[in-house]
Structure 1
Amino acid sequence: MLLKEFYKKEWWRYLLGILVLLVVDYIQVIIPQKIGQIFDILNTNSSMDYLKILISSILFLAFGLVLGRFLWRIFIFGSARLFQYKTIDKMFSRIITLDQNFFDKWRTGDLMTRFTSDTQMARRLTGNAVIMLVDTTFMTILTIYKMNQEVSWKLTLVSILPLPFIALVSLILGKLIHKKFIELQESTSDLSNITEESIAGMNVIKVFSNHKTIQKLFEKKAKRNYDAQISLIKVWGFMFPVIMFLGALATILVFRYGGEMVITKQITLGNFIATNQYVGMLVWPMMAFGWLVNIIQRGKTSVKRIEEVLEQKSSIEDPKYISKNFNGVIKIKNLTFKYPETERNVLKNISLDINSGEMVAFVGKIGSGKSTLSKLITKLYKVKNDSIFIDDVDINKLNSKFIRDNIAYVPQDTFLFSMPIKDNIMFSNTDSSKNYKKYTKIANVHEDINALDKGYDTQVGERGVSLSGGQRQRVTIARALAKDSKMIILDDCLSAVDTETEEKIIKNLREEIKNRTILVISHRLKAVKEADKIFVFEDGTIIEQGNHEELINLNGTYYSMYQKQLIEEKLKEE
C-alpha cells in the first residue's frame, strides 16, 4: 500500500527516468558495434575518413551517456530519496498522534532502526531496484538481439549458455538472503535499543559502578548483530564469486569459439571484439539480477516493518468535539483502571471532585495510583465511559488536543530539549517570548539561570543534563506556566529541590496564578498543607480526603505521615 500510493503520485518522475535509461542502454549497445567497425577498418586498411566519422560518433554517444546517466539518476534516485523523506515524515506524523500505550510497548531502538535502516532499504527498493529491473530486462533483450543480428546466432547462443545459471544462483540464494536479512534487522534493533538505554542510563551505571554487567549485556547484543552480519556476508561471499566465475566462463567460450570463427573467416575481427564486449555487457545484467533479488527481498521486509508503524492506531477514541470553554472542573465517578495488557487494578473505585480555581493535592506512598490518575485526566490512556468528566462532559467525548491545550502537565521525569533554556521555556507557547522571565521567577529559577555564563541563552545538553536536577525541574515548571493554560498538574516534579523551595514555588503559584485549577502530587505534606483539598491514596484507593486541618483532626494515615515527616526534618536540623 505504501509503495502503491507513492508510485501513483510520482509515476511521471519514474516514466521520464525510465525513458532516459532506455536511451542510455540503447547507446551502450551501439558503441560495441562502432568499436567493432573501427577494428575492421584498421584490419582492412579502409577509408580513414570513415574512421574519423566512427570515432566522432563514439565521442558523441559518450557525451549522450554522460547526460543520460545524469538525468536518470536525478529522476529515479531523486524519486527514491523523495520516498524516503516522505516515509520518514509520515512515520513521525503517525507516532506523535498515538497514545501512551504505544510508547509503553514499542522500544526506542526498534523505532530508530525503522526510521534509519529500514527506510534506507525501502529507498533502495524504489531506486536501485527500479533501475536494475529496467536495465537488466532491456539490456539483456537488446544485447542478445544485437549479437544475433550483427554477429552470429551460433556464437550468441554459445556465449550466453552460462549466463542463465547466474540468475538461477541468485534466485536460490535470494530466499536465504531474505531470511538472513530479517535476522540482521532484528539484531540491529536490539543493539540500537541497548545502546540508547545504556547512554540514557549512564549515570546509573557509573553510580553503581557496575560496568561489567552492562558491558556483558552490550557485548551479547553486539555479538548477535556481528554473527547476523557475518552470516549474511557468507551467503554474499559465496554468491558473487560463483556469479563472477560464470561470467568469466562466458568470456572463455567467446574466445574459444569466436576465435575459431575469426580464423575460419566466418566472422570478422571487429565482430569478435564486439561480441566480447556484448558478453561483458550481459554479465552485468545477470549480476544485477542477483542484486535485484536481494534488494527486493530486503526492501519488502523493510517496507513491511515500516507499514507496521504506519498501521498503528491509538487505543483512545478521539472525537472531533471541542468544547467552547475549559473551566477546569474535574469529576471522577467510580473509576477503576488497569494499564493495557496487565491484570492488576492500579486504581479502584475512585470518586472525587475538583472545582475550578481550586488547589488540590494528591498524597500517598509510591505506587498508590496518584500519578496514574493525573495521566488519565490528560487522556494519556483510555478509560471507561462515564468515569471521568471535564466540565460535565465525558472525557471520551472530548478531543485530546483540546484537553492538552488547556492542561499544563509536568511529569515526574523531567525532560528538556537540546536547545537554549529560553527556547525550552517557550516550547509550550512561542507567544510567551516577552513574559518568559515572569514564569521563571514564579518557578524560583530565574536567579539560577542568570548565574549561568550565557544566562537564558545557555545551551542545555541532552535531556538537560548540563543543569542540576532541581534546575531542570524548575525550568520544566516555568515551561508549563508559559503555556498559560487553565489547569496545571505538577506530578511530584519538585522531588529534587528542598522542602523550603518547594513550599515557596507552590506559594508563588497560589499568589501569581489566579483563577487556575492547580493539582499538586507530592510526597512532602508540608508543601501542600495550604491546598483546598487533599486526597490521600493507598493501594489505588482514596482512604482520606479534606483540607490539612480536617485530615490532622482525623488522626489517621495523613496525620501519621505528617508527624513522621516533621520528626525527620527535626533530625536533619540537628
Structure 2
Amino acid sequence: MKVFMDLKWFFKQEKRPYMVGILLLILVAMLELVPPKIIGIVVDSIKEGTLTGSLLLKWMMILTVAGILMYVARYFWRVMIFGSAYKLARQLRDMLYAHFTKMSQTFYQKKRVGDLMAHATNDIQAIQQTAGAGVLTLVDSLTIGVAVVVVMAATISWELTLICLIPMPFMAIMTNWYGRLLHQRFSKAQEAFSALNDKTQESITGIKVIKTFGQEKEDVEDFYDKSADVVKKNLAVARVDALYDPTIAIIVGVSFFLSIAFGAKFVIDGRITIGELVSFNAYLGLLVWPMLAFGWLFNILERGRASYDRIRAILDEPVDVKDRPDALDQVPTGDLAFQIDGFTYPGEQQPVLKQIHFKLRRGETLGIVGKTGAGKTTLLKLLIRESEGFSGDILIGERPIDQYKLERLREAIGYVPQEHFLFSATVAENISFAMPDAAIEDVHHAAKLAKVDQDILQFTDGYETIVGERGVSLSGGQKQRISIARSLLMQPEVLILDDSLSAVDAKTEEGILASLRETRAGKTTIITAHRLSAIQHADMILVLDEGEIAQMGTHDELMERDGWYKEMYLHQQLEAIVEKGGSHG
C-alpha cells in the first residue's frame, strides 16, 4: 500500500471526486447484498408454500430498482475515479516534461532518450492504473468482502461464516509473497522495455548510418536480442501473475466445500433453513470477487510502486542551472567580459578551460579557433548557461550572467550549435521557432540573410515544405543555413555561430558573413570555426589550445607572429589553391 501513501498529495488534491466515487462504490456494494437475501426468502417461501404472485412481483420490483441504482452508481463512480486517474497521468506527464526542459546537458549525457520516453509512457500508464483500477479494487473488494462477511455472520450463521473463512489467512500469506516477487520482476521488465525503447529510437534516428555501413543485419539481431529480453522479463512477471488465480480458486473451492459440508449439517440440525443455505452460498459467491480482486490489487500496486519509484527518481534529480532568487527580469545588453579562472566538467579530473580572460565590446565580432577539443564549444555553453560551476565570472553589461533570469539571458542570445536540429514541421515553422508570431516577410528576410532563400523556393511547397524529422530531407548545408536564419530572425543581442558554416561552400560562406556585417551593426557576434576564412574579418580572434588562450589579436596581428594561427591559415590557403588546380607563385 506504500504507493497510495506516495500518491497522497494527489488524492488530497482530488478528494471530492474520489470521495463521491468511493461513496458510490460503497452504495453498489450494499445493493449487491440484496439479491442473495431475496433469493433465500423466495426459496423458503416456495418450500413453505406461501409464495404468491403479488409477493413475487414485490421482490422482482425491489430487484429491478436495485439493478437500476447499481447501473447509475457504476456509471458515475467510473467517471469520478477513472477520470481522476487520467488527471494524474496528465499531471505527472506535465511534471516530467517540465522537468526535462529544465535539466542541463549533464543530465542528458547520463540518461538515455528511450528510457526517458518509457518513463513518460509505460511508467505513467502503470501509475494511472494504480490511481484508477487500484483504488476501485481496494475499496470495492474491502467493502463487499466486509459487508458480505458481516451479513453472513449476522443474518445467517456466524459459526458457518467462521468455518468458511478458515482458508483466508493462507491466501493473505501467498498473495503477499507473490507481491514481493512481482515488484522485483516488474522493475526489471520496465528496465528492459526502456532499453528496447532506447534501441528503437536510436536505430530509427541513425538509420542512414546503419544502411551506409551495411549494418542492417547486425542491428536487427541486436533489436531481436533486446526484444527477446523484454519478452523474457515480462514472462517472468506473467509467471508470478498467473499464480494468483489458481491460488485463489483453490481457496474459494475449499470455502465452498466447507459451506456445503457444514451447511448441510446445519440444515439437518435445524440451525438454518434451506433458503438461508442458498443465500449463504450466494453470498459466498460474492466473496469470490474480493478474493480475486486482492490478487489483482497486489499486481496493480506493485507495478504502480515500481513505476512511481522510477519517475520519482527522475523528478528528484536536481536542476543544475536555475535562477537566483534575486535574478533580474531584463534582457542583458552591453559589453561582454570573460573572467574564467577554470572550469572542469562534473566527474572529470582535468580542467577543460583555464585562465580565459578577455573583453569584447558591444557590436564587435569575436572569432574563436583551435584544434578539436580545445574548449571552443564549452566556452560558448558557459555563456548561455548550459553548464555552470566554473570559477570566475562572465559579464554582460558589467553584470555576471547569473544575475539575469535564465529566460531573459537566452532571449539575448541566438545560438546556432554544431549539431543542427530541425523539427518535423514546415521550413517557415522551423525558421520562426523562437518567434512563432513573426510575419512571413520577416521569415523570408531572415532566410535571404542566411543565403537559403533560393534553395527553399526550389522545394516543392516552398516555405510550406515539411522538412521531415530532424530535417532528414535536407542537405547538411541547407540545415545549417535554416538554423542560422532561425537565429537571425530573433535579432539577438549576441549571435553565436558554433562552427555553423562548415557545410557551406566558400562563396555562400562569404555571402552569409557579408549579411552579418551589414545587419548586425551594434550587436555582438561570436563565431567558432575550423575554416579560418570564416573569422578573419573578426575584431578579435582567440586561438585556444587545451583550454587556454594560446594567441589573441586581429587577423593581421596574428599573421605577423609565428604560431598555430599563421601556420593553419597558410596551410588552408595552399589547400584552396590546390583544389582549384592552380599553382602558388
Does the 8 Å contact 2:331/2:404 carry over to 1? no
CA-to-partner distance for each residue in 1:56-75, whole Å, 9 max, x for gaps?
21111111111111111111
CA separation in 2, counterparts of 1:54 and 1:324?
A: 76
Cα deviation, residue 270, structure 1: 3.0
RMSD across aligned C-alpha pairs, in angstroms? 2.0
- How many Å apart are 1:223 and its aligned residue? 2.9
Task: Select which of 225, 228, 249 maps to 2:230.
Answer: 225
The one-letter code sitting in structure 2 at the alignment partner of 1:525 is L
- In the alignment, structure 1 residue 59 sits paired with structure 2 residue 64: yes
Structure 1: stretches of 5+ with no match in the other structure: none
Q: Runs in 1 of length 4+ with deviation above 6 angstroms? A: none
Distance 2:463 2:46 in 1: 79
Q: Does 1:362 align with 2:368?
A: yes
CA 1:509/1:42 → structure 2, altered by over 3 Å: closer, same or farther?
farther
Q: Which moved more, 1:165-174 or 1:34-43?
A: 34-43
Aligned partners of 1:466, 1:147: CA distance in 2, in Å? 72
Deviations 1:491-540 (A, max 9, x none): 11222222221221121111123321111111111122212112112222
| Structure 2 length-normalised TM | 0.93
* 2:534 paired with 1:530: no
Amino acid in the other structure paired with 2:486: R
Q: Helix, strand or coil for the counterpart of 1:383?
A: coil
Distance 1:452 1:364 in 2: 37
> Where in structure 2 are there 5+ consecutive unaligned residues?
none
Change (3 A) 1:61 1:539: same
1:28 corresponds to which residue? Answer: 32
1:386: which partner in 2? 392
Q: Tell me the amino acid that sits aligned with residue 32 of structure 2.
A: Q
Overall identity of the aligned pairs, in %: 36
Residue 168 (1) aligns with residue 173 (2): yes
Match of 1:495 in 2: 502
User: Residues 362, 258 of structure 1: CA spacing in aligned structure 2 closer, same or farther, 3 A cutoff?
Assistant: same
CA contact (8 A) 2:327 2:402 kept: no
Counterpart of 1:313 (choices 307, 312, 318) is 318
- Structure-2 change in CA distance of 1:38 and 1:484 (3 Å): farther
1:276 matched to 2:281? The reply is yes
CA distance in 2, matches of 1:140, 1:538: 75
**Where does residue 159 of structure 2 map in the other structure?**
154
Instruction: Give the whole-Å Cα distance in 2 for the aligned partners of 1:250 and 1:150.
Output: 19
Partners of 2:498 and 2:89 in 1: CA distance: 39
AA aligned to 2:410 is: R
The Cα offsets for residues 91-141 of structure 1, whole Å up to 9 and x where unpaired, read as 212221222222222221221121112211221222222222222222111
CA contact (8 A) 2:340 2:391 kept: no
Amino acid at match of 2:30: Y
Aligned residue pair count: 574
Comparing 431-440 and 251-260, the one that deviates more: 251-260
- Report the alpha carbon displacement of residue 330 of structure 1 after superposing the two structures with TM: 1.5
Residues of 2 paired with 1:418 and 1:334: CA distance? 38
Cα pair distance change 1:2/1:405, threshold 3 Å: farther
Instruction: Give 2:142's aligned residue.
Output: 137
Task: Tell me the CA shift for residue 357 of structure 1.
Answer: 0.7
Q: State whether structure 2 residue 308 is matched by structure 1 residue 299.
A: no
Answer yes or no: is the 8 Å Cα contact 1:167–1:290 preserved in 2. no
Answering whether residue 109 of structure 2 is matched by residue 104 of structure 1, we say: yes
Residue equivalent to 1:12: 16
Q: Distance in 2 between matches of 1:411 and 1:177?
A: 46
CA contact (8 A) 1:522 1:528 kept: yes
Bigger Cα displacement from structure 2, 195-204 vs 144-153: 144-153
The 5-angstrom pairing of residues 37-436 of structure 1 reads 37-45=41-49, 46-259=51-264, 261-262=266-267, 266-319=271-324, 320-322=326-328, 324=330, 326-434=332-440, 435-436=442-443
Contact 1:337 1:348 in 2 (8 A): yes
Tell me the SS of whatever aligns to 1:444: coil
- Are residues 520 and 53 of structure 1, via their aligned partners in 2, closer, same or farther at CA, if it must alter by over 3 Å? same
AA at the equivalent of 2:290: P
Q: Cα distance, 1:362 vs. partner?
A: 1.0
Structure 1 residue 213, shift from structure 2 partner: 3.9
Which amino acid in the other structure matches residue 391 of structure 1? Answer: G
For 1:208, give the aligned amino acid. Answer: F
Which one-letter code corresponds to 1:475 in the other structure?
Answer: I
The residue type equivalent to 1:60 in the other structure is V
Question: Which of these residues, 447, 458, 464, is aligned with residue 465 of structure 2?
Answer: 458
Q: Do the aligned partners of 1:166 and 1:246 also contact (CA within 8 Å) in 2?
A: yes
1:245-296 deviations in Å (ceiling 9; x for gaps): 2222322333333345556665444323322221121121122112222322
Q: Which residue of 2 aligns with 1:471?
A: 478
Amino acid at match of 1:339: Y
Q: Which amino acid aligns with 1:342?
A: E
The answer to whether structure 1 residue 550 and structure 2 residue 518 are counterparts is no
Q: Residue 333 of structure 1 contacts residue 350 of structure 1 at CA under 8 Å; is this kept in 2?
A: yes
Q: What does the per-residue CA deviation read over 1:392-431, in whole Å, with 9 as the maximum and x for residues that have no partner?
A: 1122333222210100111111111122221121111123
**Distance in 2 (alpha carbons) for counterparts of 1:323 and 1:131:** 48
* Residues 353-412 of structure 1, C-alpha deviations (whole Å, 9 max, x = no match): 221111111112211111111111111111335332222112233322221010011111
